Amino acid sequence: MMDFVNSSVDAYLADNGVSYNGWTIAAVDDGGDATVVAAGRGLVATKDYEPGDVLFVDTPLIVSPRVTGPASPPPVCPVCYTTATALAGCPGGCGLPVCGGPCARHPGHSDECRYVRSMGPKTGAGRWSAGLYNGIVAVRALTVLKDGPYACFLDVLQKKSTDMPVFEVEELKKNINMKLTEDDERIMTVACKIMDANCFETITYRRDKLISLKGLYPVASFMNHSCVPNTMHNFDGTFKMTVKASLPIHKGQEITTTYTHLIWPTAIRQNHLLTSKQFVCTCIRCCDPKEFGTQLSALNCIIQNCDGCIFPINPLDKTSFWQCSLCAKLVTHVEIKSFYKNIESLMNSINVFCPKTLRTILDAFNIRKDGPYVVDLRLKFIWKSKNTSLNLEQLLYKEKSCVELLDLIHKLGLGQCRLLGLISLELSKVIEEKVSRFNWNTKTLNIFNNQIILLRQKSTAILDGDDNTKISVDDNN
Ligand SMILES: C[S@@+](CC[C@H](N)C(=O)[O-])C[C@H]1O[C@@H](n2cnc3c(N)ncnc32)[C@H](O)[C@@H]1O
């Protein structure tokens, strides 16, 4: 197992006999050596682990749909999480949407249904409101965390630090006739801030669609972030999270996860972590302008005929100058931001993926094929394209992209991460398609078949127990 370190909270949990997930979270004597964890409290291995070893399995305290808004996914039934085209107002009268009677009567819905009804939802009979749907996580958190055995997590888990009104609570307040009690509002506000600081994206399949939800996992919440994490995780059909080692972990070493996308370049990861989790990551990868030789963040030099690449002088400082490795040309962060923005919108504008067109665009705009946003686009092509519909050029480009991305993962030192499993699986399917299209001689066929077997073994070892091995466009971890 692992220990909680560096915290009076450990003592608090132990004093209060908190038991979660079948085991007791106990205080740990870290011998006064808190330096092992660089980011407040964290998890530390108490024995050695090999890649693939299961560290722990965590059950969510709260699972909730993501809220609606311009950039949010379409609403789902908050009980079974399907994207029903015609969600209807709960017949119980709570004003939340459900996909049908069984979900309306589901025990998992009864507490929140009763609570919202008691608050006088501002919806017509049989209707549901987006505002109440937006507030569902606050209501759900209240029903789980108020007065129950898990109420102590309100004190224990880290909260997003903000004095701003909490969107979900405000949405709820606007859409009910009664005034929330002071205590309920406090609990909901704290719980939403806890969700913001700790929740994981849990992706599940419903009726062949990927549904992105958020889940609060009490044990996993103590894992700090690294851009070269030593664990990976997956979710089963009941949202149980299994955390496995992706790299060897030694006794006493901190257990880390990622809160961002593994193949994003440093500037984008840093920005994401700062805005979503309010900290600046100072991990070894973030400190290295060349990201372990991958040059993932690099831009081509803007000086004509210079073959150099521009790198940040100090990648941890977003106002740092960038400099060409060959001609030493300095570029300001403002210019870099504008280059990144232009590349992003260019890459986003590509709908139908044609390798030749992509190459022309990259040449015309002097963009690197393994640079910011281009790698994302290539990954999107891997996820979205259907092998049987690709022409030969596209199929071979997909194969090349899979191979190059696996190489990137290797260079970044990401070990047996989930992305490696997913790309290996996809590459095996691409090779299968290649095999099926031509009459290969026996020797070549054997080589391909061996490649397929090895890739399948690799992906199975990583994705075993994963309820979601079909690939998600946003699934970069
Ligand atoms: C999910 S919590 C992790 C547990 C947290 N350290 C605690 O004490 O409860 C996420 C928060 O931990 C801190 N954190 C996690 N990883 C970090 C890192 N690599 N560097 C700095 N702070 C980090 C940030 O404050 C972040 O918002």
Backbone phi and psi for residue 46, each to the nearest 5 degrees, phi listed first: -105, 5
Tokens of 412: 């970044």
Q: What would the mean pLDDT of 303-327 be, rounded to a whole number?
A: 95
User: Does the residue 221 lie in any domain?
Assistant: yes
Atom 19 (ligand 1) nearest CA: 225
Question: CA 42: distance to chain centroid?
Answer: 19
Distance 2 CA to ligand 1 centre (A): 17
Distance 91 CA to ligand 1 centre (A): 42
Distance 224 CA to ligand 1 centre (A): 5
If 0-12 CB within 10 Å is exposed, 13-18 middle and 19+ buried, where does residue 308 land? middle
Atom 27 (ligand 1) nearest CA: 277
The string over 12-42, giving b where at least 16 C-beta atoms fall within 10 Å of a residue's C-beta and e elsewhere, is ebeeeebebeeeebebbebeeeeeebebebb
Give the least confident one: 201-210, 339-348, 401-410, 467-476. Answer: 467-476
Atom 24 (ligand 1) nearest CA: 279
Taking 90 as the threshold, does the pLDDT of residue 45 lie above it? no
**Running DSSP on this structure, what letter comes out for residue 39?**
S
Summarize pLDDT for 381-428 with one digit per residue, the tens: 999 999 999 999 999 999 999 999 999 999 999 999 999 999 999 999
Atom 22 (ligand 1) nearest CA: 39
CA distance 354 to 360: 10
CA atoms within 13 A on the CB side of 272: 15
Q: Directed axis angle between helix 374-384 and helix 333-348, to 10°?
A: 20
Same domain as 92, residue 42: no
User: Does the residue 332 lie in any domain?
Assistant: no
Distance 239 CA to ligand 1 centre (A): 23
Taking 60 as the threshold, does the pLDDT of residue 71 lie above it? yes
* Substitution candidate for ligand 1 out of 225, 270, 278 with most atoms within 8 A of CB: 225
Q: What is the pLDDT of residue 4?
A: 52
Q: What would the mean pLDDT of 259-281 be, rounded to a whole number?
A: 94
Could you tell me how many residues make up the chain? 477
- Give the chain's domain count: 3
Confidence of residue 70 (pLDDT cuts 50, 70, 90): low
Q: What is the pLDDT of residue 476?
A: 41
Same domain as 72, residue 179: yes
Q: What 3-state class would DSSP assign to 404?
A: helix
Q: What 3-state class would DSSP assign to 267?
A: helix
If 0-12 CB within 10 Å is exposed, 13-18 middle and 19+ buried, where does residue 161 land? exposed
Same domain as 160, residue 172: yes
User: Does the residue 328 lie in any domain?
Assistant: no
Same domain as 162, residue 81: yes
Q: What is the pLDDT of residue 25?
A: 42
Q: What would the mean pLDDT of 361-380 be, rounded to a whole number?
A: 92
Same domain as 179, residue 73: yes
Distance 323 CA to ligand 1 centre (A): 31
Distance 36 CA to ligand 1 centre (A): 14
pLDDT greater at residue 222 or residue 336: 336
**ipTM beyond 0.95?**
yes
* Substitution candidate for ligand 1 out of 41, 158, 285, 316 with most atoms within 8 A of CB: 158
Residue with tokens 């108020």: 146
Q: Which long-range contacts does 218-221 make (Cβ < 8 Å, 24+ apart)?
A: 218/20, 218/21, 218/58, 218/61, 218/150, 218/153, 218/157, 219/20, 219/21, 219/25, 219/43, 219/56, 219/58, 220/56, 220/58, 220/257, 221/157, 221/158
What is the extent of the structural domain holding 394? 385-477
Same domain as 231, residue 173: no
Q: What would the mean pLDDT of 216-239 be, rounded to a whole number?
A: 92
Taking 50 as the threshold, does the pLDDT of residue 30 lie above it? no
Confidence of residue 204 (pLDDT cuts 50, 70, 90): confident
Residues near 164 by Cβ (< 8 Å), separated by ≥ 6?
none
Same domain as 86, residue 164: yes
Q: What would the mean pLDDT of 302-319 be, rounded to a whole number?
A: 94
Same domain as 241, residue 141: no
Same domain as 90, residue 157: yes
Taking 80 as the threshold, does the pLDDT of residue 159 lie above it? yes
* CB-defined site of ligand 1, < 6 Å: 39-42, 158, 197-198, 221-222, 224-226, 277-279, 281
Same domain as 397, residue 426: yes
Same domain as 185, residue 74: yes
Distance 286 CA to ligand 1 centre (A): 16
